[in-house]
Amino acid sequence: MRCSLGYDLMNIMKSNKPFIGVLLIQIMYAGRSLFAKAVISKGMNPYVFVAYRQAFATLSLAPFAYFFESNKSASLSLNLLCKIFFVSLCGITLSLNLDSLSMNYTSATFAVAITNIVPAVTFIMAVFLRMESISIKKRHGLAKIVGTVISLLGALAFVFLKGPPIYSVSHEENSVPSSTECYSKGDWLKGSLAAISSNIAWSLWIIMQGPIVEEYPALLRLTTLQTFFSSIQSAIWAVAAERNLSSWKLGWDVNLLSIVYCGLVSTGITYWLRIWIIEKKGPVFLAVFTPLALVITAFSSAILWKETLHWGSACGAVLLICGLYGFLWAKHEEGTAEKNDEGKAEKIEQKSDTIVENA
């Protein structure tokens, strides 16, 4: 009985690997936001933080890329190398540095909440580039649009509709700012614009992974190359922005722990998982799970940083989840319809072949 149950559980996990993968990504991403907010709020330069985490990610990934994919044939031309460099610059370096900059002016929950524009932006980009099909006349096509819009509205509600607090907490001993009232309107606007720009760049990175994976299918090596280029680009960015050598000093404290976590887990493991999921399920499938990180971060911030949760934000979270599942249902229906169409086409082809043979 136990063996049968374990076997069934293993089969379920194997058949749902992409779903498990995106869930792990959102959990690890939520942890990244909490760590990044903690160290940046305590005075660490955001650009130095990104440079260190990308360098650590490269060092962590390089041995795995060498040992696990040394026998995998994947030619790397100069043209492809330039493409990878450009993708790293736009989608990783620019996105991460703008995201870390926004942490200076906004809360960790807001920084994650605004990432929920990623599914909508990615979906729009994919439609324009004809990487994602859509049919308004069919119910699954309409459901994809409605699900995306509901998720986006949920994100906006989470950010702007505060409402009464669900509970009250004391912020006297909390070193991390906990609400929008702790920031000036100018700083909050600056942080919001940086976060929005970061997520647009991130959506572009997601879209560009598909064509690059087709040219260079060695996923670990591709991830390592992107983090390597990003570490060089981020280091140049950090040196240009921060000339004080004391800002680069590290000790055995939360700064080093955050760099290790964000470099190894948030960058190294999740980037590889993202590229693998994009290869299996496409860019929009990955992007649409982004709202889950918001819920995880919101509750974690409430516990760790004493951020107050509001009823308006809670309603926004519910909308996000509803939109997410609406989109997933639409993708499932679309996949079922495509399989049925393929089956009908095969039957018609077989019948035509039989008729030709009898003739």
For every one of its 359 residues, what pLDDT tens digit does the chain have, with 9 covering 90 and above? 545 544 444 555 566 778 888 888 878 877 777 787 778 777 888 899 889 888 888 988 888 888 877 777 777 888 999 999 999 998 889 998 998 888 788 776 677 777 767 777 887 888 888 777 677 777 777 887 888 788 778 777 766 776 777 665 554 444 444 444 455 667 777 888 888 889 889 888 888 888 888 888 888 888 889 999 999 999 999 998 887 878 888 878 788 888 888 888 877 788 778 878 877 877 777 777 766 776 777 677 666 656 666 777 778 777 877 877 777 777 777 777 777 766 665 666 666 656 555 55
Q: Hey, where are the domains in the chain?
A: 22-68+75-169+176-328
pLDDT at 159: 64
Q: Exposed e or buried b for every residue in 98-122, given b needs 16+ CB within 10 A?
A: bbbbbbbbbbbbbbbbbbbbbbbbb
pLDDT at 343: 63
pLDDT at 173: 46
pLDDT at 249: 84
pLDDT at 15: 62
Tens of pLDDT, residue by residue over 223-234, are 889 999 999 999
Pair 157, 298: CB distance under 8 Å: no
pLDDT at 226: 92
pLDDT at 279: 77
User: From CA 104, how far away is CA 106, in angstroms rounded?
Assistant: 6
pLDDT at 81: 92
pLDDT at 86: 92
Cross-strand bridge partners of residue 54: none
Assessment of whether the complete model's pTM goes beyond 0.75? no
pLDDT at 5: 47
Give 273-278's long-range contacts (Cβ < 8 A, gap of 24+). 273/21, 273/22, 273/24, 273/25, 274/25, 274/206, 274/209, 275/209, 275/213, 275/219, 275/222, 275/223, 276/21, 276/219, 277/18, 277/21, 277/22, 277/25, 278/206, 278/209, 278/210, 278/213
User: From CA 51, how far away is CA 66, in angstroms rounded?
Assistant: 23
